[in-house]
Amino acid sequence: MRLRNKKAKILAVSSGGGHWIELIRLSPAFQDNCTIYVTVNESYQTYLDGDRNTRFYCVGDVTRWNKIKWMLTAFQILWILIKERPTCVISTGALPGYMALRLGKLLGANTIWVDSIANVEELSESGRRIGNHADLWLTQWQHLAKPEGPEFRGSVI
């Protein structure tokens, strides 16, 4: 018999600033499931106060340009993925989210990319490259949607 009410385990990953605020604005979509937030700023934990269904990890902030930091953050994310075994990985960007989706996919999770609303004129670099690895690949701009993806399904505002 299929378990109809099996809970999903969601890994929700973002960089700081707007990426994080956008991720938090998506949080009603994760409700009723166990959600593990991964971001780059320890103090963001206060946003989750009082929510028992969540856990929080902080990883090193990283940009494309620093190879060593890049590797360290990738290992931190890999460790969290192996420990938590999420069924779904979602990110609003940027690079740590890209790495989490790629690694999560290898470990069998479903992946969702929501490109930031700040990318009005073109997709972010991470957002473009993640296309083949995101099971649900979204832009927040109708004019950036294409038949082959990404799709437009609404925005964080």
Q: Is 78 in the site for another protein (CB under 8 A)?
A: no
Residue 156 C-beta: closest distance to another protein, Å: 4
Which 8-state DSSP code applies to residue 78? H
Name the residue nearer to another protein (CB basis): 93 or 102.
93
Number of residues located near another protein, criterion CB under 8 A: 46
Q: Is 85 in the site for another protein (CB under 8 A)?
A: no
Mark the segment that binds another protein (CB under 8 A) among 52-60, 66-74, 95-103, 112-120: 112-120
Q: Is 16 in the site for another protein (CB under 8 A)?
A: yes
Mark the segment that binds another protein (CB under 8 A) among 51-59, 66-74, 82-90, 95-103: 82-90
Residue 85 C-beta: closest distance to another protein, Å: 13
Q: Is 143 in the site for another protein (CB under 8 A)?
A: no
* Long-range contacts from 80-87, C-beta under 8 angstroms, 24+ separation: 80/11, 80/36, 80/38, 81/11, 81/107, 81/109, 82/107, 84/9, 84/11, 84/36, 84/55, 85/9, 86/9, 86/10, 86/11, 86/36, 87/8, 87/9, 87/10
Give the residue among 13, 143, 37 at the shortest CA–CA distance from 90: 13
Candidates 11, 30, 97, 98; binder of another protein (CB under 8 A) is: 30
Q: What is the DSSP string of 81-144?
A: HHHH--SEEEE--SHHHHHHHHHHHHTT-EEEEE--TT--SS--HHHHHTGGG-SEEEES-GGG
Binding site for another protein (CB under 8 A): 2, 4, 6-8, 10, 16-22, 25-30, 33, 41, 43-44, 46-47, 87-88, 90, 110, 112, 114, 116-121, 135-136, 138, 140, 153-157
